[in-house]
Chains A and B, each alone.
Chain A
């Protein structure tokens, strides 16, 4: 029998994979993928909690997280394309225009 803890452990593992991606990758597109992984892992945890407590609030939050992820991708990719057109690469280490 699968318990709630199994789903939470899975979500934690996926969140760690996503965080590892955010820490290690310096390509901005890869960073976006890692962010998607983290958002999805949180969705799994929310839906699992929603199922085991027989409460719909978790599913509602997962639903709004999906909406936020969609708009984040639209805005983020717009900015990324703009940056790539100006500078020719999307490496995180080149984003140093604020450096004194």
Chain B
């Protein structure tokens, strides 16, 4: 059962993310990204991380994709994007470097010296467990993250909302309007 679920989710995620990076249309790309995010939350549920699965749906598909969708108002999203192709050598190099990077990060796990710093409790649910660790061991990072989100919100409002009623470009015809 777990095997079927894993492979179904994995193939669906890879397919939708391939659409994201290869599609010519921004709207198709964004829809595929949203579906990929929802499918990733399925993987989180499979990994007994219910809290993160819910957060993934709420934050990524609810907030991030909605933010992108609203930002589409400002861009010409209906027409296809024209892009200059880059060389194939860079692609091969990036493949090798990403494999190398992941190996660098994951090889230390094969050591036996890895032990749990904050072990899970079997008698309580995942959300409760996450809450206990988050509000005791990770309280300061949590508060800093809250301040960071506030700063990001203010920055986003200031930059996107600046002079919304006026044209900022350097096109002469638009300025004379």
Contact = CB atoms under 8 A, between A and B. Distances in A.
Interface of A: 1-2, 4, 6-8, 10-21, 23-27, 29-30, 32-34, 36-37, 40, 43-45, 47-51, 53-57, 59-60, 62-64, 66-75, 77-82, 84-88, 90-91, 93
A45 B168 contact: no
B94 A20 contact: yes
Given A2-B6, A40-B40, A69-B64, A34 B21 contact: yes
Given A73-B67, A75-B155, A24 B149 contact: no
A62 B116 CA distance: 16
Interface of B: 2-3, 6, 10, 13-14, 17-18, 20-21, 26, 29-30, 33, 36-37, 40, 43-44, 47-49, 51-52, 55-56, 59-60, 63-64, 67-68, 71, 74-75, 81-86, 90-91, 94-95, 97-99, 101-102, 105-106, 109, 114, 116-120, 129-130, 133-134, 137-138, 141, 145, 148-149, 151-153, 155-160, 162, 167-171
